[in-house]
Amino acid sequence: MERYVCGICGYVYDPEAGDPTTGIETGTPFNELPYTWVCPICGASKDMFAPDRDEMARFSM
């Protein structure tokens, strides 16, 4: 599953870990997070996140 990075603070949402601080279960893909979900570090909305390019580069090698 693809990880997403907050463009404000750099927090990485990893679907394999979920977000226990907000009740998001492990295995929840980013696109299935509730619209109201925000970055647990800085409070940025989902539209401030982008796919983790570092992770994508590892798979393309």
Domain holding 16, by residue range, is: 1-28
58: pLDDT strictly greater than 90: no
CATH number of the domain within which 16 lies: 2.20.28.10
The residue ranking higher by pLDDT, 60 or 54, is: 54
Confidence grade of residue 54 (pLDDT, cut at 50, 70, 90): confident
pLDDT digits (tens, 9 = 90+) for 7-46: 999 999 999 999 999 999 999 999 999 999 999 999 999 9
Note whether 11 and 22 are within 8 A (CB): no
20 lies in a domain?
yes
Per-chain mean pLDDT for the chain: 91
CA 51, CA 40: separation in Å to the nearest integer? Answer: 17
Note whether 5 and 42 are within 8 A (CB): no
41 lies in a domain?
no
Q: What's the structural domain count of the chain? A: 1
pLDDT digits (tens, 9 = 90+) for 28-38: 999 999 999 99
